[in-house]
């Protein structure tokens, strides 16, 4: 009799296996729907198609030999001064006709903002920045000088 009982429950092992598989898949589908999409850029297809232009701009920026340095100093939590210095290949300060600062949060969408940078007495560009949250941020400076566009990026950890 014990052998007959064991033989009768074998089909239930298959049923339990598929119930577990369906339960795990249901959890995974629910998590996939409710969490972040992972999409971090607008118009990703168009940007992908134009990627050769990005590579050409990077090559042109390297050929110029310009150097841009982004730094951040803070005395108050989540508030501080972001500084950008732009020099040519000889180390001479370059005056930018236009400069833009975009600050983004790579780990979470919805906190990106732009800030105005002003020329200081020390031949650098500065912006007083207040970050909405502590954590990892990315500062991107785009400078236009003598008909050239250069772009520099720096990741910042804000306390």
Asked, for residue 19, whether it belongs to a domain, the answer is no
69 band by pLDDT with thresholds 50, 70 and 90: very high
Q: Which residues pair with 157 in a beta bridge?
A: 136
In the block, residue with structure tokens 């009768």: 8
For the segment 123-140, the average pLDDT, to the nearest whole number, is 94
Asked, for residue 53, whether it belongs to a domain, the answer is no
Asked, for residue 81, whether it belongs to a domain, the answer is yes
Domain count for the chain, please give it: 1
Q: What are phi and psi of 48, to 5 degrees?
A: -65, -40
Asked, for residue 107, whether it belongs to a domain, the answer is yes
Query: Over the chain, what is the mean pLDDT?
Result: 90
| DSSP structural state of residue 55 | H
2 band by pLDDT with thresholds 50, 70 and 90: low
Q: CA separation (Å) from 136 to 25, 104, 140?
A: 33, 9, 13
Asked, for residue 137, whether it belongs to a domain, the answer is yes
Asked, for residue 121, whether it belongs to a domain, the answer is yes
The dihedral of CA 15, 18, 24, 26: what is its sign? negative
**What's the CATH code of the domain at 123?**
2.60.40.10
39 band by pLDDT with thresholds 50, 70 and 90: low
Q: 112 is in which domain, residue-wise?
A: 66-158
Asked, for residue 91, whether it belongs to a domain, the answer is yes
Q: CA separation (Å) from 49 to 24, 54, 56, 85?
A: 38, 10, 13, 32
Asked, for residue 99, whether it belongs to a domain, the answer is yes
Model confidence pLDDT, tens digit, residues 109-119: 789 999 999 99
**pLDDT > 70 in the chain, percent:** 96
pTM given for the model: 0.69
Model confidence pLDDT, tens digit, residues 19-37: 999 999 999 999 988 887 6
- Residue 1 pLDDT more than 60? no
């Amino acid at each position: 009799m014990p052998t007959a009982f064991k033989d009768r429950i074998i089909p239930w092992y298959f049923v339990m296996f598929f119930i577990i598989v369906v339960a795990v898949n249901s959890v995974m589908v629910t998590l996939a729907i409710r969490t972040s999409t992972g999409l971090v850029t607008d118009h990703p297809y168009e940007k992908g198609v134009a990627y050769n232009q990005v590579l050409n701009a990077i090559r042109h920026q390297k050929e110029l030999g310009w150097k841009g340095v982004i730094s951040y100093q803070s005395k108050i939590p989540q508030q501080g001064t972001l500084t950008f210095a732009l020099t040519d290949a000889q180390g001479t300060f370059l005056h930018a006709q236009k400069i833009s600062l975009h600050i983004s949060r790579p780990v979470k969408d919805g906190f990106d903002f732009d800030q105005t940078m002003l020329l200081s007495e020390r031949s650098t560009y500065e912006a007083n920045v207040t970050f909405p949250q502590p954590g990892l941020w990315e500062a991107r400076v785009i400078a236009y000088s003598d008909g050239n566009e250069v772009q520099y990026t720096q990741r910042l950890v804000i306390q």
